[in-house]
Structure 1
């Protein structure tokens, strides 16, 4: 795979232990394109926050990403010789009625979700939290956060295409019960915003976050 090998990214990998706090294969594939050396250590966070306690979906998804990153940071920070950079992320879909949709719990749940998205626009939110540790363990880490949103418009879906799609099993580990980068390409009519955010990781926003930290002198 072709990848970008920017000088400050090479320096980052040399001087920091970089950890992706997610087991998502989509996030791993996209992160690989930067040519950065990193480990995958998924967070143990149960993702059981009460959605009703958050004013917006953006607040909710960012808190999930932040908790994931901090959980991994606390677990490994005192077990490494290098300072760490933890990458936490979380993605949700919000339907036209304002309901937050995460991964479906069953095929029936996926079917219901897809029916609610049919012929309407949903919004994909991804929260990203970066934690930059220090070689001095007594110093507090630097935390950088951001949320990216993308609008996705579905065509009208009849029961036959919904049933066929759910039968593939693809919706079962996807926020909002669909994967635009795969079979859902047949019924997504339009997107407005970052395509890769819909895949699960907003690459351009992530790069800008890294660049900001670099310009602040962290790596």
Structure 2
């Protein structure tokens, strides 16, 4: 019997990652105000936001009985600073000018809750991302697409921004926003089998 999984995220990339792994989650967006957490180290910020999102959705009336709820949040760490989604195109351009030709660390917090028992398993995955030395013209063109405005760190690895990532150290799924190996570890920690999530 399939264990239902609820994804507490509006991210199309996280949904696509789960579907490609054979899991068809129910999507319930948390609506958590991310600005309520400040002054935390980047990895801790990602984890605490994931925990907030998971908790917000776990109590939702639409969550199926026996479900596992997964909340995720990603931030990019550059020079010790946590970078989420840029607020406007000018900020996205400034970020890319700071990131180009350099490496940064993408932290994705994961929180998994077993609704029936209330038990929780949580961890942060971290992946080093190396950026190409892109030109001002490339940055302007990329920001003009609108893509960097909707994602943590102002880049994607699985869409238009993929050409500007020269290499990564760690799990590439983590850069998309949901680490499948890490999620599997959390599923096992709560006493479930990974294949039971397959649909």
Aligned to 1:94: 77
Matched-pair contact (CA < 8 Å) for 2:6–2:63 = no
- Note if 1:206 corresponds to 2:193: no
Would you say how many aligned residue pairs link Structure 1 and Structure 2?
A: 194
TM-score under structure 1 normalisation? 0.82
Matches within 5 A, 1:51-200: 51-52=38-39, 54=40, 56-76=41-61, 82-95=65-78, 97-134=79-116, 141-200=118-177
Shift of 1:172: 1.3
Q: Distance in 2 between matches of 1:23 and 1:109?
A: 23
TM-score (norm 2): 0.90
Where do 4+ consecutive residues of structure 1 move more than 4 Å?
Answer: none
- 2:7 match: 20
Distance in 1 (alpha carbons) for counterparts of 2:63 and 2:86? 36
Give the gaps of 5 or more residues in structure 2.
Answer: none
CA RMSD of aligned residues (A): 1.9
Structure 1 gaps of 5+ residues are 1-9, 135-139
The answer to whether 1:42 aligns with 2:29 is: yes
**Cα offsets for 1:4-32 (capped at 9, x unmatched):** xxxxxx4423xxxx311111101111111
